[in-house]
Chain A
Amino acid sequence: MRYAMAIDTNKCVGCADCVVACQTENNVPVGYARDWIAEIVAGTYPNVELEIRSERCNHCDNPPCVRACPTGASHVVEGGIVKVTPEECIGCGACIQSCPYDARFSHPKGYVDKCTFCDHRVKKGRDPACVAVCPTKCMYFGDLDDPSSDVSEAMKNRKYKALAPEAGTDPHIFYLM
């Protein structure tokens, strides 16, 4: 079992519904976000390219945040989901510094917070809120080890990339090109 997400950059319009849905689903305080939109512009007018990406924690196989955590609050659960136990977190921020994706933030209640792949939904066989709400259906979630999962199906016959592969983190958010 290895959960992962694939996001089709050809379809994403960057509307940020994923961001709003996550905030309401996970009670993320207004002003903070577990996912966000990145827009990368290249070229000069009129030969311009634009890539829009919905970004979040990459739930890495080699997560530097877990290694950096002095208390064990950051940990990996079944399916490779990287989580934080708020009660064990002292809010030191070492994990925030270590993350090459800038995916973690200090919650106003004093602990570090981040994307959980909505594991409370996933346990019930539902997609994460961001995936479930996306108007363009550009996001696919599921078990990479299961060739018939949405994410495996979406990645078949498509070119894809992951972010900052040079960091050696083995990220599990894939961008379909």
Chain B
Amino acid sequence: MKTRRDFIKISALGTGGLAAAGGAYKWAKGSEIMNKLSGEAADKNLKLNRYPTYCEVCFWKCAGWTHTDDSGKIIKIIGNDNDPHSNGRMCPRGTGGIGMYYDEDRLKTPLIRTTKKGKQTFRKASWDEALEVIAKNFNKIKQKYGPEAVAGFFHGSPGSHLGHTLHAFGSHTEAHPSYAQCRGPREVGFAATFGSGVGSPEPTDIRDTKCLVLIGSHIGENMHNGQVQEMADAIDKGASIITVDPRFSTAASKSKFWLPIKPSTDIALLMAWIHVIINNELYDKKYVEQYAYGFKELKEHVKKMTPEWAYGITTIEPSSIRKTAYEMAAASPAAIIHPGRHATWYGDDTQRERAIAILNALLGSWGRRGGFYFKEAMSLPEYPTPEPPHPKWDWKDIHGDKYPLAALPVSNALVEATIPENNPKHQIRSWLVAGTNLPLTLPNKDQTIKAIQELEFMAVVDTMPMEVTGYADVVLPECTYLERYDYIRAAPHREPHIALRMPAAKPKYESKPAWWIAKKLGEKLGLEKYFPWENIEEVLDWQLYRAGSSLEEMKKVGVKKFERAYGAPYLKEGEDYEFYTNSGKIELYSTEMENAGFDPMPSFTQHEEPPENFYRLIYGRTPAHTFSRTANNPNLVDLKAEPLLWINPKVARIWGIENEQYIWLKNQDDKITQFPVKVRVTERIRWDSVFMPHGFGHSIKRLSRTYGKGASDAEMITNVKVDPVMGGTGMRANFVTFLTEEPKTETRS
């Protein structure tokens, strides 16, 4: 249990940098000006006290306002009422986003690796010199191996700018870990079924649903803002929630049914649900008849997959399986079997997502109110730049015959290919990394480090001195999202809309926006013609004008909504509708999977079990943090300064482990965590598993608030189950045991 006393004790240890400045009244004065401004008779000459932004603490990208006081100091971030992602309310990370700006551990200047007295170290450098070094090395590699040998690893907004530079340079060797380490399987599984992936934000019509089914998805602990808000709305309206989780999650505590499933057996439960829904004729007959393909085959396929069969696998009682199947059928079509987000668990994840998609199809929820709406995004024209050179090879050649249904590049495939013995044909000799902390993001850290050691050159762009920066030859300090413009956010939703991010303050230190870095690097590389503009405002204004707005208007409103242009968000009764699949129908039997050599319908496969005295490591989220990027945020470190390892009391008793005791973890491959982790003995977790939040256990001393705080789950993830369909890295097949004494250093990972 977290109490305020813990707050003081924990943070008194590590903080001290942030002085409280200004008083409540100072803020109130600023807000009066703000209120006047937001009124219709806003005086254009009045000093702006709030600046539109959209959040970069996570991928939900909530739009809001950055407020400054009269001295120009950033004081808070408040949601934009007109934004469908935030509905005027940021989550704790969005509210605490100012900590990213104020964090005094930020990267401050460009850094260049140098050797001093035989020891490698970073020295400060000017932007000009740092960009010159990068350009020189990229060009050298281009001459020797071709431009394709420079690979990009990106996450979030900086990738869109630096990706442009990379393409202009002649490389499409580019990957985003958000695909193969996260949501890739569900995109492929849903696309194979409905002809359309899920996308972000998920088009789940939660606010109007009558039954929300969560399978290992912990909404509320993952603060995917709009979705959490809609779940609360659904609770208000009396919707029932069914949660499948080996852990009594926050969502489980709000649920009518909690199914405490044995981990790794989800497909068996899903197939049993499908069995009950077909055999008891609970499916949406009209919908299935009109829109679905392969019902007969599916019915035959699930014939023997009874709740009794699933009981032996999942440990969920047959009566519970039947009761919950009836519950979701009663809500049909206003029922959502949520696709989840981080879906890379066991290596058969595309098939699990297929089962989820099939269940949704049987309930008729795709394209129906309270199920999934047809999303629509605003499309903005691209600012005209010359056609980039066509690369001789790209990420698809790296995949080769592997991962036939991967629609996007697989980051782990690029990492593997960087090690020359794995990929003699296509050499990757240099990485450009932005916004992703690869050693903590990718599983199998040893392989990532091995690949990095093979590189001739590596440049990293980040706001913080993350682990990945330690391996770079050149580090470039990006300013935070509160200090920069980025491209317009035009994410899909019920209504198409756009959101602007603009700076509320000048970049601190010598940090620079990614668009500037991308342009300047481009110029150093001799690619001026691809950047035919002075600054990004020109590009944004050009695009906005063509979308029916302007930069000036967007600065005032932050978010602008448009009419839908491509039909209603829901199917009309009996409407003719062609799905983008081979058959033009919702494929219960997937021809795409079959053609690619995979099972056209999902089946349960047995996964590895923990050896004796080992427990399955389940990792997840805590509401105040995103990945490993927020662990040092002064405002958020306060809420959760270190991860807690959840252990069932029975297990703790066997081991003689006390609540709040620090222990080390060792996994099945004898890897031991660098730092110990604090134990939370709790009835909220099964006895065959342990749980810990992802993103802690930082090993960089410059991250002063979070260094050494807790173990890193990523260190324990060495057994990776790669999904042959799309290359996703299944990471839940790792098992840990406990070390109560500090291990000798030489055995540590």
The interface of chain A, by Cβ under 8 A from chain B, is 10-11, 13-17, 19-21, 23-33, 35-41, 43-46, 48-52, 55, 102, 105, 120, 124, 132-138
Q: Given A27, A31, A48, A132, which contacts B12 in the complex, CB threshold below 8 Å?
A: A31
Inside 8 A of B92's CB, which chain A residues have their CB? 15-17, 19-20
| CB-based contact B25/A11 at 8 Å | no
- Pair A23/B635 contact, Cβ less than 8 Å: yes
- Closest chain-A Cβ to B644's Cβ sits at a distance in Å of 11
Cβ of B89 within 8 Å of any chain A Cβ, yes or no, is yes
Contact B638 A38 (CB under 8 A): no
Of A37, A40, A46, which one neighbours B248 at CB under 8 angstroms?
A46
Among the stretches B134-142, B217-225, B419-427, B717-725, the one at the interface with A is B217-225
Do residues A39 and B1 form an inter-chain contact, with CB atoms below 8 A?
A: yes
Bound Cα distance A1, B178 (Å): 52
Interface presence of B603 (CB below 8 A)? no
Q: Are B638 and A46 in contact (CB under 8 A)?
A: no
Q: Is the CB of A48 within 8 A of B28?
A: no
Partner of B24, one of A23, A26, A32: A26
**B680-711, CB < 8 A from A:** 682-687
**Cβ-based interface call for B236 (8 A):** yes
Please tell me which one of the listed residues A30, A49, A137 contacts residue B232 in the complex, with CB atoms under 8 A apart: A137
Residue B20 is within 8 A (CB to CB) of chain A in the complex: yes
- Name the residue on A nearest B218 (C-beta): A13
Picked from A11, A31, A134, A138, the residue with its CB within 8 Å of the CB of B7 is A31
Listed residue (A11, A17, A133) with the most chain B CB atoms within 10 angstroms of its CB: A17
- Kindly report which residue of chain A lies nearest to residue B248, judged by CB atoms: A48
Which residues of the other chain, A, contact B623 by a CB distance below 8 angstroms?
13-16
In contact, B258 and A15 (Cβ under 8 angstroms): no
Q: Which residues of A contact B220 (CB under 8 A)?
A: 13-15
Complex contact A45–B684 (CB within 8 A): yes
- Residue interface bits B64-107, CB-to-A below 8 A is 1, else 0: 00000000000111110000000001111001101000000000
B21 within 8 A of A: yes
Q: Of B98, B648, B649, which is within 8 A of A24 by CB?
A: B98
Taking CB atoms, residues of chain B closer than 8 Å to A135 are 89-91, 223, 225, 228-229, 232
**Which residue of chain B has its CB nearest to the CB of A19?**
B639
In the complex, the answer to whether A38 meets B95 with C-beta atoms within 8 Å is no
Is A30 a contact partner of B76 (Cβ separation < 8 A)? no
Task: For B635, list chain A residues within 8 Å (CB).
Answer: 20, 23-24, 30
From B639, which residue of chain A is reached at the shortest CB distance? A16
Query: What's the Cα separation between A136 and B5 when bound, in Å?
Result: 25
B649 — which chain A residues lie within 8 A by C-beta? 44
Nearest-Cβ distance from residue B105 to partner chain A, whole angstroms: 13
Q: Does B556 belong to the interface (CB within 8 Å)?
A: no
Q: A15-B623, A32-B7, A46-B260 are in contact. List 7 more A-B contacts (CB 8 A).
A: A10-B254, A13-B623, A14-B250, A19-B92, A20-B95, A36-B4, A136-B229
Determine the distance from Cα of A50 to Cα of B18 in the docked complex, in whole angstroms: 35
Number of B interface residues in the complex (CB < 8 A): 67
Whether B714 sits at the interface, judged by CB under 8 Å, is no
Q: Report the Cα distance A26→B95, complex, angstroms.
A: 13
B687 contact from A14, A29, A45, Cβ within 8 A: A45
Contact indicator A17/B229 (Cβ below 8 Å): no
Interface residue B361 (Cβ < 8 Å from any Cβ of A):
no
Partner of A133, one of B7, B89, B684: B89
Option from A30, A32, A46, A55 in Cβ contact (under 8 Å) with B634: A30
In the bound assembly, the distance between CA atoms of A120 and B79 in angstroms comes to 20
- The residue of chain A having its C-beta at the shortest distance from the C-beta of B637 within the complex is A30
Q: Which residue of A lies closest to B705 (CB)?
A: A30
Tell me the smallest distance from the CB of B257 to a CB of chain A, in Å: 12
Q: Does B595 have its Cβ within 8 Å of any Cβ on chain A?
A: no
Chain B residues with Cβ below 8 Å from A51 are 253
B3 touches A120 (CB 8 A): no
Whether A20 and B23, one on each chain, are in contact in the complex, defined by CB atoms closer than 8 angstroms, is: no
Q: SS class of chain B's interface: helix, strand, loop or mixed? A: mixed
Q: Which residue in chain A gives the minimum CB-CB distance to B86? A: A135
List of 3 A-B pairs having minimum Cβ-Cβ separation, nearest first: A13-B220, A136-B232, A31-B11
Q: Contact check: which of A14, A17, A43 meets B91 at CB < 8 Å? A: A17
Contact indicator B683/A44 (Cβ below 8 Å): yes
Give complex CA distance A42, B95 in Å.
Answer: 31
6 contacts between A and B (CB under 8 A): A21-B95, A26-B24, A31-B8, A52-B250, A120-B28, A137-B232
Say yes or no for B27: interface residue by CB 8 A criterion. Answer: yes
Cα separation A35 to B2 with both chains bound (whole Å): 12
| Closest Cβ–Cβ distance, residue B426 to chain A (whole Å) | 44
| B residues less than 8 Å from A25 (CB atoms) | 24, 27, 76
Determine whether the beta carbon of B248 is less than 8 Å from that of A31. Answer: no
| B453 in the interface (beta carbon within 8 A) | no
Taking a contact as CB atoms under 8 Å apart, the answer to whether A40 and B1 are in contact is yes
Task: Write out the residue numbers on chain B whose beta carbons fall within 8 Å of the beta carbon of A48.
Answer: 248, 253, 683-684
A11 to chain B, nearest CB (A): 4
Contact B2 A36 (CB under 8 A): yes
A31 near B89: Cβ-Cβ < 8 Å: no
- Which residues of the partner chain B approach A32 to less than 8 Å between Cβ atoms? 7-8, 11
Contact of B228 among A15, A37, A40 (CB under 8 A): A15
**Is B540 interfacial (CB 8 A cutoff)?**
no
Q: Which residue of A lies closest to B232 (CB)?
A: A136
Contacts of A13 in B (CB 8 A): 219-221, 223, 228, 232, 250-251, 254, 623
Chain A CB count within 10 A is highest, among B220, B231, B648, for: B220
A101 to chain B, nearest CB (A): 10
Question: Shortest Cβ distance from B735 into chain A, in angstroms?
Answer: 19
Chain A positions within 8 Å of B3 at CB level: 36, 38, 102
| A138 close to B4 (CB less than 8 A) | no
| Nearest CB of B to A120, in Å | 5
How far is it, in angstroms, between the C-alpha of A44 and the C-alpha of B250 when the chains are bound?
16
- B90/A133 in contact, CB under 8 A: yes
Give A27 to B24 CA distance when docked, in angstroms.
Answer: 7
CA distance A24 to B18 in the complex (A): 12
State in angstroms the CA–CA spacing of A35 and B684 once bound together: 25
